[in-house]
């Protein structure tokens, strides 16, 4: 079993049963008017800190987030891109994608501005993103790339640059 297979198994288990201590830190929730973060999203926040600043999300961008966790960052990004499929979340773990879908139902109940259609969830791999070239304004990941060995990291970064629009 490769280290990537082990990682998938760990995150599959964390999607089924939230594991609050899984990651090294808890990202602070953005304090924005009208943004309420469901508790389950906070419990499933498996990142190392938000990798995008809100000022980088101006002008209703198309946003890619690789490694969806419980959907917390996807919800935060949706605050700035309130259009159908304005935020695309990609994850290789089907159980994590399903957990995010379920968490978005709670997010809709807590946020009158939020619609689950703002987020498109796609099964896919950071090493082969299921997106067109130059289709994304802002691309982010949160801790996922830290697990990659040199060859995989190079490929993941090439994929992020491939899908970014010029000056993205």
Q: What is the pLDDT of residues 11-21, one digit of tens each?
A: 777 678 777 76
Query: For the segment 26-43, what is each residue's pLDDT rounded down to a tens digit?
Result: 666 778 999 999 999 988
Contact 64, 163 (CB under 8 A): yes
Q: What is the pLDDT of residue 128?
A: 96
Q: What is the pLDDT of residue 69?
A: 86
Taking residues 64-82, report their average pLDDT: 93
Question: 7 CB contacts (<8 Å, ≥6 apart)?
Answer: 147
Domain coordinates in residue numbering, the chain: 3-163
* CA separation for the pair 164, 157 (Å, rounded): 11
Q: pLDDT tier at 6 (50, 70, 90 boundaries)? A: confident
Taking residues 64-77, report their average pLDDT: 92
Taking residues 74-83, report their average pLDDT: 95
Q: What is the pLDDT of residue 26?
A: 60
- The domain at 3-163 falls in which architecture? 3-Layer(aba) Sandwich (3.40)
């Amino acid at each position: 079993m490769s280290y990537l297979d082990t990682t998938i198994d760990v995150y599959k288990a964390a999607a089924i049963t939230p594991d609050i201590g899984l990651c090294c830190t808890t990202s602070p929730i953005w304090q924005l008017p009208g943004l309420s973060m469901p508790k389950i999203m906070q419990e499933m926040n498996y990142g190392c800190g938000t990798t995008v600043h809100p000022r980088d999300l101006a002008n209703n961008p198309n946003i890619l987030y690789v490694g969806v966790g419980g959907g917390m960052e996807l919800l935060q990004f949706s605050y700035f891109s309130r259009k159908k499929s304005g935020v695309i979340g990609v994850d290789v773990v089907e159980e994590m994608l399903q957990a995010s879908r379920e968490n978005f139902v709670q997010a809709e109940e807590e946020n009158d501005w939020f619609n689950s259609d703002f987020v498109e969830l796609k099964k896919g791999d950071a090493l082969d993103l299921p997106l067109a070239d130059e289709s994304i304004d802002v691309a982010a990941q949160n801790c996922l790339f830290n697990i990659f060995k040199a060859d995989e990291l190079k490929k993941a970064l090439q994929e992020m640059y491939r899908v970014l629009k010029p000056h993205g």
